[in-house]
Chain A
Amino acid sequence: DVKVTQSSRYLVKRTGEKVFLECVQDMDHENMFWYRQDPGLGLRLIYFSYDVKMKEKGDIPEGYSVSREKKERFSLILESASTNQTSMYLCASSLPPRASERETQYFGPGTRLLVL
């Protein structure tokens, strides 16, 4: 069964803090993604990764960085959290391009982050 987990369901942080959001998948997927979800805007891609130590900017990378040291783990980092980063963050993973059903992304439960 597909399984993507995220380290926290809810987080409250203060402006200026460094924030780490962790995502782990146990499906041996090569591709991993970070999205943020805001009312009326749907899901927007922040960063994605095709492989260990590889990363690509998505549509809204400003204010974020990522780390992928191991295949199963993809971390989203807010270097200095700001109130406009209060949002729902969703992690996803998918199979590599050579696999069938490769385009399907599987999502974790999400982390609701509140920055005060």
Chain B
Amino acid sequence: AQKVTQAQTEISVVEKEDVTLDCVYETRDTTYYLFWYKQPPSGELVFLIRRNSFDEQNEISGRYSWNFQKSTSSFNFTITASQVVDSAVYFCALNTGFQKLVFGTGTRLLVSP
């Protein structure tokens, strides 16, 4: 069975702090895809990144970076120098090829000025 665990329900930081959101996944498939989505207060899920199981290179996009480690089944997301606009709920998700996404329960990030 596929499962995604986001153990951190809510994280509060002060602006300019770095913050890491954890994601642990379970699957028996060898080919799979991992995603991060951002859900701001407006409600829409915004796609942030897609990573396939054969590509363990870390990725950096501006203040965002992702660390994919198959050995620990983790796909963690770090925001460097957080800003108030980063406040949102962040979801990690897993796709194992049948066009269906399995989501974690989300981590609410609160960035205060």
Contacts and interface: CB of A to CB of B under 8 A. Distances in A.
Contact of B105 (A9, A41, A45): A41
B37 A107 contact: yes
A109 B42 contact: yes
B101 interface: yes
A62 interface: no
Interface string A30-46: 01010000001111110
B66 interface: no
Contacts of A106: 47
Contacts of B99: 31, 48, 50, 94, 97, 102-103
Interface size range on B against A:
20 to 34
A58 B100 CA distance: 9
Given A48-B100, A103-B50, A109-B44, 8 more contacts: A41-B105, A42-B106, A94-B99, A101-B50, A105-B101, A106-B47, A107-B37, A108-B44
B98 to A, nearest CB: 9
A58 B99 CA distance: 11
A24 to B, nearest CB: 15
Interface string B36-56: 010000111111001000000
7 contacts: A43-B93, A44-B103, A50-B99, A103-B33, A103-B99, A107-B46, A110-B44
A82 to B, nearest CB: 22
Given A101-B50, A103-B33, A103-B95, A45 B45 contact: no
Interface in B51-108: 91, 93, 95, 97, 99-101, 103-106
A40 to B, nearest CB: 6
Contacts of A33: 100-101
